[in-house]
Amino acid sequence: MAKVFDCITEELQEFIAHQHIFFVGSAPLTATGHVNLSPKGLECFRILSAHRVAYLDLTGSGNETSAHLQENGRITFMFCAFEEPPRILRLYGQGYTVLPDSPDWNDFDSLLPQIPGTRQIIVADIERVQTSCGMGVPLYEYQGQRQSLVNWASKKGKQGIQEYQQQKNIISIDGLSTPLHKS
């Protein structure tokens, strides 16, 4: 049964802290645009307050979330308990992207892990907090975080990452610009 909360309560903050993976959902305004759903790990999610969260976004093959946030701001986070007891938590909100050259970068960077391949920080103001039972989510045993992305970014180096971002991360699959797009 779904339950709505006024904020991210201390109990829900503790639940989030124990999750090793979370999912980020976003979508463009156009009906023909692609809904994006991305899994995230590497312990990069932070609760800033009962109504604000942030995560360190690493360089990847696309940059859909950032493009969608620039267009309309809508974002949803989902956490699932893969161990007992079952629970699903969704955080609905309005988000924005903070780039490394932004004046706001230092406000958030010190709160997040330092990981090679960092692209940007996603910050969201949470408007709705909702749990559901999660009884249909299978049980999984956590084995650890993959280091593949970190190793790839370290091997590419800072200059290589910047070149990759300019090649792959400035336009979404629906043709929307991202904040990385240099006019």
For the chain, what are the domain ranges? 3-137+147-168
User: Which of the four pLDDT bands, split at 50, 70 and 90, describes residue 5?
Assistant: very high
Question: Do 155 and 59 contact (CB within 8 A), yes or no?
Answer: no
Enter the tokens of residue 36.
């994006």
What b-and-e string marks burial along 1-29, b requiring 16 or more CB atoms within 10 Å of the CB?
A: eeeebeebeeebeebbeebebbebbbbbe
Mean predicted confidence (pLDDT) in 140-156:
96
Q: Which CATH class is domain 3-137+147-168?
A: mainly beta
What are φ and ψ of residue 92, in 5° steps?
-105, 135
Model confidence, pTM: 0.96
Helix (H) or strand (E) holding 64: helix 64-71
Mean predicted confidence (pLDDT) in 52-72:
97
Peptide bond into 85 cis (omega under 30): yes
